[in-house]
Structure 1
């Protein structure tokens, strides 16, 4: 489809000006709303091509007092729009006016042309309650059409978070002047092989499969740990609960990191660590010595990065044990299986890891296989007692890439 125009708009609901850019094929707008006795709220943004001209006219029958102005003549044109709230009306007049407008809408003939044929088009004046009631009374039981749902989702402006659970958040938002509650879900790919823990229990590995699991896992960890700048950027993130049960295996034998429920991010602008309020703690078996003895510097982001690397060293050990060499392979076991119980206490782990400074043992066969010997060296440098001595995720990634090259393996 050829669009007549594509504009860049200003969105005042976001933070830095550099990030307040939105491209659209429709109109850009600025709207001022009366927030029930509070100061008026100003919002700006851009609308999609379909229906935007009609939505720009839709102010008369809003439940809140508001004013809306639209433009489409140049980039950032809505920066120069200054809508003014209409004067307050008496309750009686408001009631009569809304009744008259409703009757006009009801009796208006419907022409089967243009936008009204488009299932994504939502007529002006329709409230979310109206749409839900229509979908429930349609008899199909399927709810709103998918494209209508998508259209609404694009038009909703998030205002503030009002609730949060382990798997979702609830936000107060605005849609066409109405205040709505928006529940956000996290939807991810499904990986039928399950977690790395499940996979290793039932699968033995050759050298290539071992390196693929290890390399893809540390690549994901490296991505988490790295801050990326720009419009598609991300902050540096530390996982804080790395273990084989929190890594998933894809069909192609590569891994991806899951369950970021304990993750912390680094805010580079203020040099602060953003730690979400959470009563959960990490898995004791995988905790580094500085967490077990409570010496970790919680204000220093690099402390969390190095804690992740200790846990990753244990994961490398789990992977390497399942690699066949010379026809020999060890059965799957959790780290420290021979030193602590199946559900160790903090005191158990502190004694083994901090006081005795013990680590998982290597099978004798590893010394006669060059690849397994190098894997052993890698994990030893990851789980070093001193956090500053541990390898970074990037260093482990580069080392595994060199090991693959030397084995003539393409990952």
Structure 2
């Protein structure tokens, strides 16, 4: 019995050890986690497996750090790197409502470090993400990311807005092209203008009122006020300078000449000539106002004058024939306008002598009473008799080649002598007389309308072609034989021949032409009355 007790004790000790080991093994079968330092870098600590109780955590940590060398020292100018560590954390390291404190990383710090905690085996193989640093390129790109649906919607809306804006702009532009001023004007009206005193209600009253002062036209403020009250109706003519519109001002028709922006010098010059002191005359086109207006697309240069339904003498003669009296009225009134231009009026408020330089049937308008007035003074020049100087401006524009005098065509004209310009006007007026006389119907006989030299040059002749016909061949428009059988036509024929002499000094003066035609008109009126 004595020999068996030690064996029994050993057996009991063996069973105790086995039981103890089983308890240890049972306790060791807890949470399994990865554990390593610098897991994503060469030279980092080798990964191991740690075991924790079911109440502990597997942790994965990512940190933004500067690049280091093998000794763990920072590398100068080293770039930012991301370092990953994995840990086993026990419940004893701190909890906040059963949540470990080391798992809580404030969002402002998540661009430098972030932590991921979990409680399943090897769950810390997952790595949390770092936020991009504020102001970084990735952060800016990330901040501009929107859901695809929102991006598509924004693009569609932008395209629609651009399309609508384009259509609206085109509509407004085309509407203004047809009628630049279509809405009520909010500017100070003529009625409330302090310069106006009493309230003229018509263009005639305005013109009469303007003559009570210096005689140089309406005040500039009144001109601008009128210009902003005009409503354009329709285009009635086009030329190299721009367009002519029919407009309305207080129920009255006015003509609005709109110059191209590149013709600003011509616009300014014509407005300046029209406002010459004492220029206003019944046979000079009535000037009302000038203004420059911005229509939203370009600057318009306006010249506003009286409007006549018969339009130009060129258009009038194309449409109809005239009687003997009608012919003389057209010729006499045109001569009166030219004579008033050429005449110098002396005095403190005198008028300088003016030469037209582009006299032709298209620049003479026919009034409702069958008389004419001279228009288009854009090329006109004034004579300063005190200094004996011509204020001719440098310009690319020249007169109409068909109506140029011989001395202009062969370039022998003395540009320093003002009388030369007046004589060139007289030559052109002789051609206008020829145009009028051809349309005079006597006994139902008349000639069809034609431009001077129609049978000698092309429709748009060159200077060289006109020089050959007029200067070299010394040709002039043909006078029909029937004119010799009618006293009035015979006198007109003699007048025109004396206007287009090759020798400029031998031509009639405007005053002589006016007196001759006035005598003819008086005789013809007496004959008709009898």
How high is the TM-score relative to the length of structure 2? Answer: 0.46
Contact 1:168/1:185 (8 A) holds in 2: no
Aligned: 1:348 with 2:442: no
The count of residues paired between Structure 1 and Structure 2 equals 257
Q: Which residue of structure 2 aligns with residue 216 of structure 1?
A: 333
Contact 2:266/2:379 (8 A) holds in 1: no
Instruction: Quickly say closer, same or farther: Cα 1:357–1:145, change in 2 above 3 A.
Output: closer
Q: Distance in 2 between matches of 1:155 and 1:286?
A: 35
Contact 2:325/2:525 (8 A) holds in 1: no
Q: Which residue of structure 1 aligns with residue 266 of structure 2?
A: 166
Match 1:334 to one of 441, 448, 451: 451
Q: Residue 306 of structure 2: SS of its match in structure 1? A: coil
Q: Over residues 127-154 of structure 1, what are the superposed CA-to-partner deviations in whole Å (9 max), with x where a residue is unaligned?
A: xxxxxxxxxxxx9862334445554996
**Residue pairs, 1:57-68, within 5 angstroms:** none
Q: Which residue of structure 2 aligns with residue 35 of structure 1?
A: none
Instruction: Quickly say closer, same or farther: Cα 1:142–1:297, change in 2 above 3 A.
Output: same
Q: Over residues 238-296 of structure 1, what are the superposed CA-to-partner deviations in whole Å (9 max), with x where a residue is unaligned?
A: 00000000000000000000001110110011011110232211000000100000000
**Residue pairs, 1:89-108, within 5 angstroms:** none
Greater C-alpha radius of gyration: 2
CA RMSD of aligned residues (A): 2.7
Q: Which residue of structure 2 aligns with residue 93 of structure 1?
A: none
Contact 2:430/2:500 (8 A) holds in 1: yes
How high is the TM-score relative to the length of structure 1? Answer: 0.58
Contact 1:218/1:396 (8 A) holds in 2: yes
Q: Distance in 1 between matches of 2:329 and 2:430?
A: 16
Q: Over residues 21-54 of structure 1, what are the superposed CA-to-partner deviations in whole Å (9 max), with x where a residue is unaligned?
A: xxxxxxxxxxxxxxxxxxxxxxxxxxxxxxxxxx
Contact 2:439/2:448 (8 A) holds in 1: yes
Q: Which residue of structure 2 aligns with residue 55 of structure 1?
A: none
Which consecutive unaligned segments of at least 5 residues does structure 1 have?
Answer: 1-138, 157-162, 172-181
Which has the larger displacement, 216-225 or 366-375? 366-375
Match 2:426 to one of 309, 312, 322: 309
Q: Distance in 2 between matches of 1:231 and 1:187?
A: 28
Q: Distance in 1 between matches of 2:310 and 2:220?
A: 38
**Residue pairs, 1:3-402, within 5 angstroms:** 142-149=186-193, 151=195, 164-168=264-268, 186-402=303-519
Which has the larger displacement, 141-150 or 398-407? 141-150
Q: Distance in 2 between matches of 1:292 and 1:322?
A: 28
Q: CA deviation at 1:303?
A: 0.3
Contact 1:310/1:384 (8 A) holds in 2: yes
Contact 1:168/1:186 (8 A) holds in 2: no
Q: Residue 525 of structure 2: SS of its match in structure 1? A: coil
Q: Which residue of structure 2 aligns with residue 102 of structure 1?
A: none
Instruction: Quickly say closer, same or farther: Cα 1:155–1:190, change in 2 above 3 A.
Output: closer
Q: Residue 304 of structure 2: SS of its match in structure 1? A: coil
Which consecutive unaligned segments of at least 5 residues does structure 2 have?
Answer: 1-182, 197-217, 222-262, 273-290, 293-300
Q: CA deviation at 1:364?
A: 1.3
Q: Over residues 312-350 of structure 1, what are the superposed CA-to-partner deviations in whole Å (9 max), with x where a residue is unaligned?
A: 000000000000123210000000000001000011100
Contact 1:196/1:245 (8 A) holds in 2: yes
Which has the larger displacement, 143-152 or 214-223? 143-152
Q: Residue 400 of structure 1: SS of its match in structure 2? A: helix
Q: Distance in 2 between matches of 1:258 and 1:205?
A: 21
Q: Distance in 1 between matches of 2:369 and 2:185?
A: 39
Q: CA deviation at 1:234?
A: 1.1
Q: CA deviation at 1:371?
A: 0.9
Contact 1:289/1:353 (8 A) holds in 2: yes
Q: CA deviation at 1:369?
A: 0.9
Q: CA deviation at 1:167?
A: 2.6
Q: Distance in 2 between matches of 1:383 and 1:369?
A: 21
Q: Residue 144 of structure 1: SS of its match in structure 2? A: coil
Q: Residue 323 of structure 1: SS of its match in structure 2? A: coil
Q: Which residue of structure 1 aligns with residue 81 of structure 2?
A: none
Q: Distance in 2 between matches of 1:155 and 1:327?
A: 51
Q: CA deviation at 1:407?
A: 2.2
Q: Distance in 1 between matches of 2:436 and 2:219?
A: 43
Contact 1:243/1:311 (8 A) holds in 2: yes
